[in-house]
Amino acid sequence: MEILTQVSQAFTDQRPGTSGLRKKVTVFQQPHYLENFIQSVFDAIPDRAGKTLVLGGDGRYFNREAIQVILKMAAANQWGEVILGRGGLLSTPAASHLIRHYGARGGLILSASHNPAGPDQDFGIKFNGENGGPASESLTEEIWRRSQEITSYRIARFPAVEIDREQEISLGNMRLRIIDPVRDYADLMERIFDFSALSALLQGDFQMRFDALHAITGPYALEIFEKRLGAPAGTVQNAVPLPDFGGGHPDPNLVYAKALADLLLGPEAPDFGAASDGDGDRNMILGRGIFVSPSDSLAVLSAHARCIPAYKEGLRGVARSMPTSQAVDVVAKSLGIEHFETPTGWKFFGNLLDAGRITFCGEESFGTGSNHVREKDGLWAVLAWLSILASTRKSVREILREHWQHFGRHYYTRHDYEELPSDAAQAMMAGLQAQLTVLPGQHLAGREIRIADDFSYTDPVDGSQSNHQGVRLLFDDGARLIFRLSGTGTSGATLRIYHELYERDSSRLERDPQRHLRELIDLGRELSRVEHLSGRKAPTVIT
């Protein structure tokens, strides 16, 4: 096998974000662009020789071409083994599980998550470490440093590999194992959950729909829901992963999963509905006539964790990202367990999970997970909800009502302004930060601002510090207003404004969140000057 050293030069835009490197497909298709980044990742892992690398992606456009390149570069860079999902497919939580299950040194996940796919859309690559979680900040910085000084990359020459069947082959000194991308993950779910109880639920009068949005979870959902649990054919919809996700936007929210939302909120609704995103780590939960906010979902799952066999002894602790509502904090206090508030980004949960400080964790951006992997996991969340429904024999609406009556309700909504001009978005955040010293003590939106800051976090496990994680306004009655720029897009910037108000009055627990939070919503628009600076009169997405 011939190994070439290809002369190259650095690209200035290869700094990975919290979810790796995301760019338009056409950017990755530039000569040497993909190869430079992969070599930078490999160079940042000096102990890779002879080790195992997990590889796969969500099936989006350019996935298969990238895999052929990565295999050639892995062979040239002394990896001992690559475990590849058949067809190049692996969901993000399945990849995390495989890294842990097979003791791999890490994995490359090819995905841009919930972003659209296609020749003119988005592609992404991220490296997950040996714990199965996203690369640490120190490793991410090392990858970035390497990418800025790279002058060449190493690549082997061999014919394209047939990746659509399970097989083991040798590529020089490297072994390639192509495996069923679903089996190991589905086996893990069967160990966590009571599949006999779930089978009884799904084979009875209970009706559910799962929308895979033509993304990666289709094969996983078919195997678990229809094959192993015996749900009727057609329970899983849009189940075939397509390179362009069928032209849709694989983000499981009320806007981009509108067909499912219309069904569950309409007159002919089934009992339960759920969706997942492009790479399978996010989830949306609905009951007949009701949408479950991700913040409420994390709180409800934590309160009912003992319904699930793997957690029957209770939870060690819980964690949420800072913008996520404080609903799970109230549950944790009731259970007498630790609760943590971290920056946005699943890697911040990793240290807490590895240290055994928490069992459940979640983000308001439709991500929920547990200590079974080191990523959020959409199908795990769906199975957890089904376990509660099977155990309680109550509807989603009844479960939410009882939860609010017992713990109170954290009214919550997130308004996203997507693809803003970057300079306008930066001006909004700069304007907010400039007001932080004068806002405390002011009476706005009918309440007094107690704290105004830019959130900082000290990791309780390793002591590392993360600053500038989002502007927070904390009010004297427990209400919160939070502003963040999201780094998950590939063009422009996304401003997210989060609004939260805690309600204990039992007569005020089933109101429309948008109306109940109107004063905070108006204040957020006013303080950010979003309409003045961008011309946007309304958010792109409301959840």
Q: Catalytic residue positions?
A: 113
Q: Which single residue is written with the structure tokens 């958010």?
A: 539
Q: How far apart are CA 511 and CA 509, in angstroms?
A: 6
Euclidean distance between CA atoms 14 and 34, whole angstroms? 10
Return the number of other C-beta atoms located less than 10 Å from residue 405's C-beta.
11
Q: Is the dihedral of CA 129, 321, 284, 24 positive or negative?
A: negative
Amino acid of residue 409: R
Cα–Cα nearest to 108, from 157, 156, 161, 51: 51
Length of the chain: 543
Burial class (CB in 10 A: 0-12, 13-18, 19+), 516: buried
Residue 316, both tokens: 């060690």
The distance from CA 244 to its chain's CA centroid, rounded to whole angstroms, is 19
Task: Check residue 445 and report its DSSP letter.
Answer: T
Extended beta strands in 20-94, E state: 21-24, 52-57, 81-89
Instruction: At 110, list the tokens.
Output: 């090819």
Assess contact for 341 and 469: CB atoms under 8 A. no
The values of phi and psi at residue 303, to 5°, are: -70, -30
- CA 218 from chain centre, in angstroms, equals 17
Cα 22 to Cα 12: distance, rounded to the nearest angstrom: 14
What crossing angle do the helices spanning 422-434 and 518-528 adopt, rounded to 10°?
110
Max Cα-Cα span within the chain: 74
Q: CB under 8 Å to 471, separation ≥6 — which residues?
A: 429, 432, 433, 436, 452, 453, 454, 455, 482, 483, 484
Write the CB contacts of 72 (distance below 8 Å, at least 6 apart in sequence).
155, 156, 157, 158
Q: Which of 262, 224, 164 is nearest to 377 (CA)?
A: 224
Do residues 305 and 297 lie in contact, with contact meaning Cβ atoms separated by under 8 Å? Answer: no
With a CB cutoff of 8 Å and minimum separation 6, the contacts of 234 are: none
Phi, psi of 233 (to 5 degrees): -55, 140
Residue 191: count of CB within 10 angstroms of its CB: 10
**Helix, strand, coil % (nearest 5) of the chain?**
35, 25, 40
Q: In whole angstroms, what separates CA 415 from the centre of its chain?
A: 18
401 token code pair:
């009502």
Contact 25, 112 (CB under 8 A): no
